C-alpha cells in the first residue's frame, strides 16, 4: 500500500500467473473496489483439473511443441519489425449488432470476447491465434469460487476466426 497523501493511497496488487489466472485476479481486484463485496474463495486446488483438462488442451499443446510452430516463432522473432502499441475503442452498438446478426443467421449465441478475438486476429492478418480460456464450469468441481489458475490456451486457425 502506497500512501499518496493524508486521505489517499494506492494499493499495488501483483501475483504470479503460476498461482492465479486473469479470472482470479479480477475477482480479487473487484473485491477491492468501492462497489465490491469481499467473499471467501476456494484456494484448495482441484487435484484432477490437469487430467480433466487434457482432452481440451491437447491440440494446443501439440501445436506449441511442433517443429513448424517453433520454426515460425523463431523466424518471426528474428525477422519481424519491432511490435507497436495501439488501442482501439470497442463500439457496444456494433458488438450488439454482430450478436443479433449471428443469432438470426444460425441461432447460435456468440460472446463479446468471440467478436473481439475474431476481429483482433483478422486485423492482425495472422494465420494462427491463441486465446486464454477459463475452464471453470467446464471441468467438474471448478466454479467461480475457485481461486487459482484454471485456464488453458485455445489455438485458432484462420477458418476458425475469419467470420
Chain centre distance of CA 58? 18
pLDDT at 24: 93
Mean of all residue pLDDT scores within the chain: 88
pLDDT digits (tens, 9 = 90+) for 84-130: 887 888 899 999 999 999 999 999 899 998 899 999 999 989 888 88
pLDDT at 122: 93
Q: Mean pLDDT throughout 124-149?
A: 91
pLDDT at 55: 84
Report pTM. 0.67
Q: How many helices (H) and strands (E) does the chain have?
A: 6, 4
Distance of CA 41 to CAs 17, 27, 33, 45, Å?
Answer: 17, 9, 17, 11
Amino acid at each position: 500500500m502506497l500512501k499518496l497523501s493524508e486521505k489517499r493511497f494506492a494499493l499495488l496488487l501483483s501475483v504470479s500467473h503460476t498461482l492465479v489466472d486473469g479470472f482470479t485476479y479480477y475477482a480479487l481486484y473487484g473485491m477491492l473496489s468501492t462497489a465490491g463485496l469481499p467473499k471467501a474463495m476456494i484456494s484448495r486446488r482441484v487435484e484432477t483439473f490437469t487430467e480433466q483438462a487434457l482432452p481440451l488442451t491437447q491440440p494446443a499443446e501439440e501445436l506449441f511443441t511442433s517443429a513448424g510452430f517453433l520454426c515460425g516463432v523463431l523466424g518471426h522473432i528474428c525477422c519481424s519489425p519491432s511490435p507497436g502499441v495501439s488501442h482501439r475503442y470497442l463500439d457496444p452498438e456494433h458488438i450488439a449488432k454482430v450478436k443479433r446478426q449471428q443469432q438470426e443467421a444460425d441461432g447460435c449465441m456468440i460472446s463479446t470476447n468471440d467478436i473481439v478475438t475474431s476481429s483482433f486476429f483478422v486485423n492482425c492478418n495472422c494465420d494462427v491465434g491463441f486465446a486464454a480460456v477459463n475452464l471453470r464450469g467446464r471441468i467438474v468441481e471448478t466454479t467461480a469460487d475457485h481461486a487459482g489458475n484454471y485456464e488453458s490456451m485455445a489455438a485458432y486457425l484462420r477458418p476458425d476466426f475469419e467470420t
